[in-house]
Structure 1
Amino acid sequence: QGNTGPFIQYTYARIQSILRKAKVGNDNLPNAVEVSIEELHEKEKNLLKQLQLFPEVIQNAAANHSPALIANYTYDLVKDYNSFFQNLPIVMGNHNENSVAFRVQLSQVVGNIIKNGFKLLGISVPERM
C-alpha cells in the first residue's frame, strides 16, 4: 500500500491474474477492439491519458538522468489503474463482450508499461503474489 515497489508489483500481479482469467497470453492476444471516446468511462479515459505519457517520461528521465521520473510515473499509472479496477468490472460481472475485450486489452497494456518501466529501473515484477 502506498508509494512502494511492492504496491506496484502487486498491481502487476493482479493484472496477470486478470489476463489468466480472460485466457490472454503471449500466444493468445485478444483481437483489437474499436471504441469511441463517447463510449469510454472517465476512469478509462484517465488511464489512456496516463499511458500516452510513457514515451515522454522515458525521454525526460534519460535527458535529466533521473530514474525517479520513471518510478513516479509508474506509481501514478498504478494509482489510476487501481481506481479503474475498483470502479469498473473487467471480466467478472461485465456482460458486454466489447467492453470486456477493451478492458482486458487496456489491462494488458498497463501491465506491459509497468513491466517495462520497472525493467528500466532494474526491478523485477512477479507474475503472482
Structure 2
Amino acid sequence: MDVPAPRRRLGGRGHHRGDGLSLLFAADVPEDVAGVLTATQRPVVTAAFTETASAAAWRTKQSWALVAGADRTISPEVQRFGAARVGVVVELPRASHAVALSEPTRVADLIRDGVRATI
C-alpha cells in the first residue's frame, strides 16, 4: 500500500496529508472519527524519532506493552521487539495505531491491570 509521505517539514515538525492519515493511523476507527483525527492532527516533532532516553524505566519498574497488530504507523514487529523486553504483552491483532479509540475497553483494562499490580 502506498501511504502519502509527510506533506512538509516546518521547524522540525512534519505531518501527513489528510488523504492518507486514516489509512495509516486509524484504519479501524469509524470514518467520522478518522475525519476528526485528520482535521485536527498536529505536526509531530521530528526530534521524537532521534532523541534518546537517559534511562529505560522498564528495566527497574514492572511494565506492560500493547502491540497493535494492524498498526501501519509503528510496525507490529518493532512493537513486539520492544514489548519482548517488558515481559507482559497484550496483542490486539486487528488494532491500528489508534488502538485507544478502536479498542478503548481493552486499553483501559490493560491500564487498570497495571495500576492494580503496582499498588
Asked if TM exceeds 0.5, the reply is: no
Determine which structure has the larger strand proportion and give its number. 2
- Larger Rg belongs to: 2
TM-score normalised to structure 2 length: 0.26
Instruction: Name whichever structure is richer in helix by fraction.
Output: 1
For normalisation by structure 1, the TM-score amounts to: 0.25
